Amino acid sequence: MKFTRLLFLCAAVAAAAENDAPRRLAARALGETPIWNDLHALCDGIGGRPTGSAASERAIAWAAKTFRQAGLTSVSVEPFKMPQLWLPGTAEASAISPAQFPLRLAAAPFTPSTQGTIEAPVVDAGEGTEQDFARLGARAKAAIVLVRSKEMKTFDDLFAEYLRNNSLMAAAKSSGAAALLLQSTRPRGLLYRHPMSMDGSLAPVPTAIVHREQAERLGRLTLSGEVRVRLNLQNQTGGEYQSQNVVAEIRGREKPEEVVLIGAHLDSWDLGTGAEDNGVNVAMILDIARGFQELGIVPRRTIRFVLFSGEEQGMWGSRRYVERHHAELDKFVATVTFDTGSGRLSGFYLNGREDLRGEVNSALAPLGGFNSSEHLIDAMDGTDNFDFLLSGVPNLVGIQDPIPYLPDYHAESDTFDRVNQREQKITSAIASVLVWGLAESPGRLKRQSRQEVERLLIDTKLDQQMKAFGQWAEFESGKRGLFQ
Ligand SMILES: [Zn+2]
């Protein structure tokens, strides 16, 4: 099946005779390129790279150097302000009664440290709803509260995990809990980083993700008597600091002021090495830029390649990029974001803009209509397209098979070997042709007004999601979503 897909693409590319550029770009992307050397350098050589860490600084310098070594002459590192530093430090715990055994856990980003090592009884708060905490009453006070989860199998499950954060934290805070242990949603002891706040604030209660099966054992033990746990979470927290986005471009030959942006986030969480999320797409974007340079292809409009930092902390790199570049947003043709690993690409999220469908299909026409029928109108909140969407810029996000991405999402197991190299080469060919086509097309879509964006958010029901995530007020007040 997969092999047929590759053959089909090769045949379609070979048949595209009317303009040589897409054929050459796709053929190059499908052939031998340094993409895997780059991914190896980033993931194995640098590793997990939370924004604000030394590894993140190394990754930024490495990405700028790699663009330059690819021959791009216009490469810059654009500083921006991050609102709140959070880096993991010590996370140690053990059960001390009725049985003694070490617990495996990972501190949740944007939660505070414990006051040194604490020792407290464990209480089981079920799924951690307001009613669950009400049921516990005074027993939660100064306790280590265990919160259960069902196993994560789909994007909807993952989404539900994020959606409960705000109410969970509010309930935990008012209960007076000393700390929260959130049962891992992944079986067989797998740990991951699960941020408890995305708006630059620090959540109120020390929190860690705990080994799923160990959480089950703790829960069973609480049924027959007191369970005591010792816990030490020490995170590094601080206020504002500076990070950087890495930007490179191929200047357009006719309309250099008009921009097609292709982006992916460079930062990752640290337990794994950020291969599926999102090193593989960073390596792809570097390689697409290298391809244009190597083949000497100069499109009508400028293609800008952007590697964002601060995505995992709340999409700060792309948000600040939009603020910094607001004066030129009218000239943006479209942005294209990849952030779902290396699974099979079936089309693009149109992010509420039906008028993008034709643009994408025309751009991909040299590939023989490949994937053209599988775009979705859905609008995405959760990656670097979001602030472009809020500011009326046409924006696309790749739709990819969630396998291999989802099981390793933010986890220890997100490593180089998880990447589906064959599918990623195909995605690279499609993305190369897409950005070329968008940069070459005779016309372009208009930027939306604030009213049009508001209508889009309501029509796609993204407003409801934004309300749940606490983003709607920022849009309403004009803090987020920039217009002339
Ligand atoms: Zn990501």
Confidence (pTM): 0.94
Q: What is the pLDDT of residues 360-383, one digit of tens each?
A: 999 999 998 565 569 999 999 999
Q: What is the pLDDT of residues 398-428, one digit of tens each?
A: 999 998 899 999 999 999 999 999 999 999 9
pLDDT value for 6: 61
CA 315 to ligand 1 centroid distance, Å: 9
CA 344 to ligand 1 centroid distance, Å: 16
Q: What is the pLDDT of residues 212-260, one digit of tens each?
A: 999 999 999 999 999 999 999 999 999 999 999 999 999 999 999 999 9
CATH of the domain at 316: 3.40.630.10
- Helix, strand or coil for residue 387? helix
CA 146 to ligand 1 centroid distance, Å: 28
Answer yes or no: is 413 within a domain: yes
CA 20 to ligand 1 centroid distance, Å: 33
CA 78 to ligand 1 centroid distance, Å: 20
Q: Which residues pair with 120 in a beta bridge?
A: 229
Number of domains in the chain: 2
CA 142 to ligand 1 centroid distance, Å: 35
pLDDT value for 233: 98
Mean pLDDT for 297-302 is 97
Answer yes or no: is 51 within a domain: yes
Half-sphere exposure of 100 (CA within 13 A, CB side): 1
> Do residues 270 and 412 share a domain?
yes
CA 325 to ligand 1 centroid distance, Å: 22
Cα angle value 336/338/344 (rounded, 5°): 120
The last residue of one of the domains, among 194, 221, 236, is 236
The last residue of one of the domains, among 236, 271, 298, is 236
CA 383 to ligand 1 centroid distance, Å: 7
> Do residues 59 and 44 share a domain?
yes
Distance CA 96, CA 84 (A): 35
Structural domain span for residue 210: 86-236
* Phi, psi angle pair for 247, to nearest 5°: -125, 130
Q: Is-contact 281 345, C-beta < 8 A? A: no
CA 218 to ligand 1 centroid distance, Å: 32
The last residue of one of the domains, among 213, 236, 259, is 236
Answer yes or no: is 71 within a domain: yes
> Do residues 68 and 94 share a domain?
no
Mean pLDDT for 21-33 is 97
- Helix, strand or coil for residue 429? helix
> Do residues 59 and 200 share a domain?
no
Q: What is the pLDDT of residues 138-196, one digit of tens each?
A: 999 999 999 999 999 999 999 999 989 999 999 999 999 999 999 999 999 999 999 99
Mean pLDDT for 473-481 is 94
CA 273 to ligand 1 centroid distance, Å: 12
> Do residues 435 and 335 share a domain?
yes
Q: What is the pLDDT of residues 256-298, one digit of tens each?
A: 999 999 999 999 999 999 999 999 999 999 999 999 999 999 9
CA 356 to ligand 1 centroid distance, Å: 23
